[in-house]
Every structure is written in structure tokens, then in C-alpha cells.
Amino acid sequence: MSAIRAFPPLSSDRAGGQAELAHTCLYYMALMRELEDRIERKLYRQGKIVGGVYVGRGQEAIPVGTALLAGEDDVLLPAHRDMAAFLIRGIPAGRILAQYMGRVDGPTRGREGNMHMGDMKLNLVSIISALAATVPVAAGCALALRYQGKNGVAFSYFGDGATSRGDWHEGVNFASVQKLPVVFICNNNQYAYSTPLSAQMACANVADRGPAYNMPAEIVDGNDVFAVHAATQRAVAHARAGLGPYLLECKTFRMTGHSAHDAAHYVPSGMFDEWGKLDPITRCEARMLEEGWAGAGEFEHLRAAIRQEVDDAVAWAEKSPYPDPATLLDDVYESPQ
């Protein structure tokens, strides 16, 4: 498991700890934003991406604030708006783009699109489309970690809508009964496709589901990467100590339609503006200036570097060939039947 990517190099004049963390968080949030913008607003519209595009615009603090805390032994099961978790775990931007474009250098070699990818060498499990299906799988990963005597934790990601599925309840219940080391991470972006939270559940918060499983559940400002990070530290400490699972409900808002084809006319007017003021990247930058962790002008420099990184990644992905149709039958089983 040596492939986990080191954080981008930091300049030496920075006060350690928090400042370093802030720069790392900002980098991954901004990279995710730029990559997804490019995917949704450019490559998709140019017809270079043929399948579904579901982005996490406005929600970047959640995968970033959580996944940065995952160590080598921890297992991540990110959902469809958690691109940064893949970046942090070591899947480069170019390979993510190749995946979207159906190229052979995507992690699934053209068998899958969007965020449906994983790599067990990185302890990264691919979701399937069926929502919440990874929740019991996360419990099984955690069971295996304990079985193997490792001190790892499973990070199980899902949206608010997914918590209505039976698989979610079965998985959470099993993890609770078995006291498994799982951190359940909900991005409550208040919509599931066009369905608002009030039509999804009769309780006000996803966290309200926690007590039914005797599981601590914490509500977090999902647009504050530092709050997400701090809450994840508490959750991970709890799970690692053998105290059982922990639920984090990260309140946020989906700043797009459900997918690239959805104009989200069903969202009451004003909500995008209201939540736009709480943008996690802007807030992170403001905090960094306030704390003196970064100087004005630094952010424009970072954005330019990220634009360049994404330009290069797009160019790399576009050079990747399409898979050979002769590989259609490969890998259904370990050995050809």
C-alpha cells in the first residue's frame, strides 16, 4: 500500500499544524471543484463524456475533511459526490477523467463511469449504483479489519436519500450490534434527485436515526472543512477505540441539479443564492486569511496551478485509448470459463 499519495508540497514558511492542514484542504477542494466544473460544464457539453455526471459542487468539504484522516489501514467507500476522496487516496485527476471518458486508463478500464471506481490496493471500495448498498459492505470491511487484528476504520459515505433504504438500516444495525469500527458519513444536501428531505424522512435530521441504533450521531456544518475535519477526528477516535460506529451528518446543499441534465427547477428560488454564500472554498480561504495562514494573492496562484494540473490531466486522458472490444469478455471470473 505504498501508492497513497503524499500531500502537495508546502512552502516552508508556514506555521505547521492547522495552516498546513488548511492548505491541504483548500488544494483538494479546489482541485475537485475545477475537475468537476471541467467535467460537467465542458467535457460533458462537448459530448466527450457520454454517461451520467453527478458532481459535488458545494459539498467538497465533506470528502476532504473526512478522507484526509484516513490512514493506510482504513477503508474508504465513497459515494457519487465524493470525488476528493479518490484524489486524496491517490487516484490522479487524469485517471478520473479517463474513467469519465470511457478510456482504458480509467481505474475501471472503460467498464464503468463517473465515481464508480475503486482499488483494493488503496483500500478504496467502489460503490454500485444502488444507493446505500455499500453500507453493509462497509460493515463487512470493518469486521474484516477487526478479524485481522488491524486498527483500521471503515469510512462509509452516502447521501440523505440513501438513508431511506433497507440496506442502510441493515448495515448500520449490524455495525452497531457488532460494535464495528465504521464512521458513517452522510452528506445531507437536502435533496435526493428532486425529492426534498421532508418527503424522504419524517425526522428532521439524519442524525435523529442514530439513537435507534445506540450510535452517537453528530450534526456538522458540512460547508466548513475544519468543522468536518474536527468531527471526523472525534468519530474516528470513537470507532478506533472499539466503541462501535459513529454517524456524522454533514449539513450541506447540492449546488447543482441532481446530474448534468437536471436544471433543478424544483429547488425553491433563493436557495442557491443563500447556500452560495456558504461556499466551503470561499469560507476556507476567508478563514486562512483571518488566521494568517495564507497571504492575499496566494489563492489566485493556487487556482492557476490547479487549472494547469487539470489541463494536463485532460490532455493525458484524451490521449488514452478506448478499450479494445476484444476485452469485452475478460474478467467476468478470475480465470476464463
Ligand X SMILES: Cc1ncc(C[n+]2csc(CCOP(=O)(O)OP(=O)(O)O)c2C)c(N)n1
Rounded CA separation 203/34 (Å): 35
Applying CB under 5 A, the site for Mg ion has a residue count of 5
Do 178 and 143 form a contact (C-beta atoms < 8 A)? yes
Check: CB of residue 34 under 8 Å from CB of residue 307: yes
- Indicate which single residue of 189, 232, 256, 320 sits in contact with ligand X (rule: CB under 6 A): 189
Q: Does 104 bind other proteins (CB under 8 A)?
A: no
Binding residue for ligand X, selected from 1, 10, 130, 286, defined by CB under 6 A: 130
Helix segments in 1-68, DSSP class H: 17-37, 61-67
What, of other proteins, Mg ion, ligand X, none, does residue 193 touch, CB below 5 to 8 Å by kind?
Answer: ligand X
58 interacts with Mg ion by CB under 5 A: no
Nearer to Mg ion among residue 81 and residue 238 (C-beta): 81
C-alpha cell at 294: 495564507
Task: Count other Cβ atoms within 10 Å, centred on residue 275.
Answer: 18
Instruction: Strands of 34-153 (E only): list them.
Output: 75-77
Rule CB under 5 A: say whether 207 interacts with Mg ion.
Answer: no
Instruction: Rule CB under 6 A: say whether 316 interacts with ligand X.
Output: no
What residues have CB less than 8 Å from 220, skipping those under 6 apart? 227, 228, 231, 248, 249, 250, 251
- Fill in the amino acid letter for 19: A
161 binds ligand X (CB under 6 A): yes
Among 192, 248, 306, 310, binds Mg ion (CB under 5 A): 192
By beta-carbon proximity to Mg ion, the closer residue of 167 and 298 is 167
Residue choice 191, 213, 246, 299 for contact with ligand X (CB under 6 A): 191
131 binds ligand X (CB under 6 A): yes
* Residue listed under C-alpha cell 441504533: 213
Which 67-96 residues touch ligand X, going by CB under 6 A? 81
Helix (H) or strand (E) holding 93: helix 93-100
Task: For residue 223, give the nearest of 35, 87, 62, 29 by alpha carbon.
Answer: 62
List contacts with ligand X (CB under 6 A).
Answer: 81, 129-131, 158-162, 187, 189, 191-193, 254
List contacts with other proteins (CB under 8 A).
Answer: 75, 107-108, 111-112, 116-120, 125-126, 128-130, 133, 135-145, 147-148, 154, 166-167, 170-171, 173-174, 177-178, 331-334, 337
